[in-house]
Structure 1
Amino acid sequence: MERRLTTVLAADIVGYSALMDHDRTGTIAALKAFREETFTPMLAAHNGTLVKSMGDGWIAEFQSTSEAADCAIAVQSAEKPEGIKLRIGIHTGEVVSDGDDIFGDGINVASRLEALAKPDQILLSDTAHNSLDRGNAASFDGGEQTELKNITRRLGIWRWPKGTGAGFAVNADVRPGIAVLPFDNMSGDPEQEFFADGITEDIITELSRFRWLMVVARNSSFTFKGQSIDIREVGRVLGVRYVLEGSVRRAGQRVRITGQLIDAENGSHLWADRFDGVLDDIFELQDKVTQDVVTAIEPSLRQAETNRARAKPTADLQAYELYLRAVSHFHLLTDADNKEAIRLTKLALERDPDYATAAGLLAWLHIQRLVQGMEPLDRGPKSAVAAAERVLLSDRADGIAKAYAAHSISMLARDLSRAREAFKEAIAENPNAAIVHMLASINLFLLDRPDEALQHATQSVDLSPRDPMRHASYLAQGCAFFHMERYQEAAAACREALSVRSAFVMSHLMLIASLAQLGDIDAARAAVADLKELRPGISSSLETTRLPIFTVPACAARWRDGWIRAGLPVEA
């Protein structure tokens, strides 16, 4: 017998028995026509091999997962005889071949998926989905974790057509899991075994009070009692991310309890400590140790989960790629690129509705339309604020996402104090992120705090001197300098901004006003001419000039006065 990794497609005719009872002759003829005219030719066209034919279903094998997915989609999309509907399951896994037949995980999982599928639907395992090329992977949605009968691990399941929903119960418990292994009795006294077991059971009970945490039951954890086993194997078998293990050692009336919290995915230690006590009252000591251990490890678990979430903003790699593509268009500042960035960001959020960074970018994209004088899309500012609210309510939002959202709340909802609090959190979480300091600087300018605004804007440039977004950092410096009537420095900052992004309208408007306030009217008029080449119909009363940056009371009259003196057209 030979073992190999392969992709298995399992297909089944829906309601075959009922069709046969209703019209045996017609069903046999229809099934034969479908098999000979559609299924078999499509299998051959996609380099598939028929392994089994079971009257109302088939098992086929493919060397390429992408070809298996293409074949399944082609079969489901093809015109079929009346009454013929298929369910299809696909899995990439190990099989064992015995002559012309195959057995094993590949067959079992594919068959389970086929049984779960709705009529005309294809279900794909996460293993198979991970093997697809980008184009094919984008044809499927879902990815929810669920359990299959007689399959030891939970599987992510993907669906075609997209949006058809799950016809199966998904595993809704996505909480991080922890197993508390029986504490080892290191005393050499069998009578102390009950004390070690009592400590373990009490810790399990107390940890179960935290609703955000899934704690493996005592009976499951205690199957490992007395065994020497790799922690990563414990995590795999029990389906948990974290394992707590420990020991109890007694010398006379003194007891020492040690414990360590381990990440079961990589074996790293997250926390370790020891507790000493006296056996005057064994139950009192047991309660104290339990409380101390639980109080110590719960924050460690939360921090580990926070770090995990920050390192992995989305579990969906396709969503992450869509987000990165959106960012590349965001930097180009054109109407077409902005629309494409919005489209890509929405696709990312369709794949992962809780992807906070993508929601934050979507909010900022709507601001970009306003800043650049483009026609609003969807609900314009309302869309931006709605996206920002999603971020601020999200448990998955990192500092970058919070900064995006706070910028939208600041610029569009004009809730400056709330935005300031969000920026404080963002800076605390990402103190070395240039973009966070840049956006925080703008918020401080709107709050009439130019000194602090200048500090953050300068820090943003220092942190990332070659950043593609540094034009906005220079612009923020220009705002602060203008507020403080340091027009020479404001003009220099605006020129720096334009050297990075010459198409950014606000930089032109700020440069014009700064030069005019300096009294250099010729230079200001030349700057107006440059802006008109970029935006022929611009005037100082257009929507761009009504943004919060240009309405700060300490500066508003000076902005407008500068534009008028430079000859920028003014509408009544």
Structure 2
Amino acid sequence: MAFNPKPDRDTVRFGKFALGLVDRRLTCSGQPVKLSSRALDILCELASVPGEVVSKDRLMEKIWPGRVVEENAIQVHVSTLRKALEIGSDGHSYVVTVPGRGYRLVGLENGPDMPAYSGSGDAPARGTTVAVLRFANLSGDSSQDYFADGIVEDIITGLSRITGLSVVGSTSSLLFEAGSGDLASIGRKLGCRYLVQGSVRKADNRLRITARLVESDTGVALWAERYDRRFDDIFEVQDAIAMSLIGALEPNLRKVEISRVRRERPNSLDAYDLVLRALSSMRTTMPTGAGEAIPLLEKALVLEPYYSAAQAQLARCFQIRFSRGGLNEADRATAVHYARAATRSDDATALGAAGLVIWFADPDFSDAFEVFHRALSISPSNVVALGNSAFAHAFMGDGKIALQLAQHALTVSPFDTLIAHMAIAVTELHANRFDEALRAAARAVEANPSFSVPQVLLTVALVRLGRIEEARSAAERVLNLDPTFTMPVWSVTVRKNPAVFDPMAQAWSQLATCS
């Protein structure tokens, strides 16, 4: 796209279009475009403040002064305007709905909404960058465009809170719609590695939302999900779906990025890639993996001394080493130090991880629940914060809260299930619902067969159900994974409420007394 360094202030240009503000004439590649007078009025009003939000009240006041007009009149004429602009849009949408606020004209030459492209027409890659494209409205009702745009805006806002992830602003990404062109080209133009595509279909009182995460260079789908909801309250549905998508996208992006850094050997490791490599080593949550991760995280903090994600994961590593590597006081103190440092951030994932370390290792562990609360205030669908908070509440005996948090975690990310199922197992054991505890523990084992704690919970549930031989086999697996495991050692970090922990210890000891 060729930019004019000295634009004519009486002419607004976007894509192939030019709008004369004096003669009120719209052209596309030099050819006149026919618009209704009201649609042209709206376009001129948007173009008079390029890139800014124009409220519906202002449009009413300017276009229908002194008249009482139904609000949907604006939607009708905006829909007409959008259809007229489709002829030269190349899949872009130049009139964007800002939910609850109004409309904007975007994609202007030299405007605030266009990326600063290089001479090749491509924006430079910016590390782990994602763009959420405009969701396609498949309802056959253009008045529903605002709903699709609102979901996209909410997803962008939520993803923007994730440290280590760069999110393309809506004014650029909403220029492209799912299926609007070559994905590799869109990715290069927006300077991003990943794209989120989606669609919205409304029929009667039902909504179907689809979303998928794709790699822009290859077009390979990395994750996909479908949501079917009732349409009773459009804004509640919009919020719920956006939160679900954010909750699912974050852990899936994290998994994809971990896979990427394991495949690649970059010439220069930055702090973010070091954290991803550390997470790959930590996946067993055992001391050996933690030991591999610690130097990577320490290097990350040399590069970025206040990097909260590195601080939180380093806290986890030292806590793992403390609880499963000999109860060394220096490891405990170091874990608490880094966890406390991470709580200075506004990264929900870092806060969720730091909160659990504080609960495990800090004598003043009650602060952990304030940290969890902050994390969930920032991002209510953050799976790390939900799962870790559920686990801590379960061992405190707060079963109702634990189940609510764990079920929410499983709803927003049904494949990121380890700690949520562990929390459910602990809660059900405390409530003497042993069949439910066994099912939850088995699912936690499936989620991470290399982690000893789910096997402990499985053993306890089997003992409580009187299935002693199966319990012995499960206990053997625990000791194969962690030869140092004993209930007294485990009690150092999780025995916050004896009424929850002591029956587990009694069940474990029962194996030694059964002939």
TM-score (normalizing by structure 1): 0.43
Q: Work out which of the two has the higher radius of gyration on C-alpha atoms and give 1 or 2.
A: 1
- Normalising by structure 2, what TM-score? 0.48
The structure carrying a bigger strand percent of its residues is: 1
Of the two structures, which has the highest relative contact order with CA contacts closer than 8 Å and spacing of 6 or more? 2
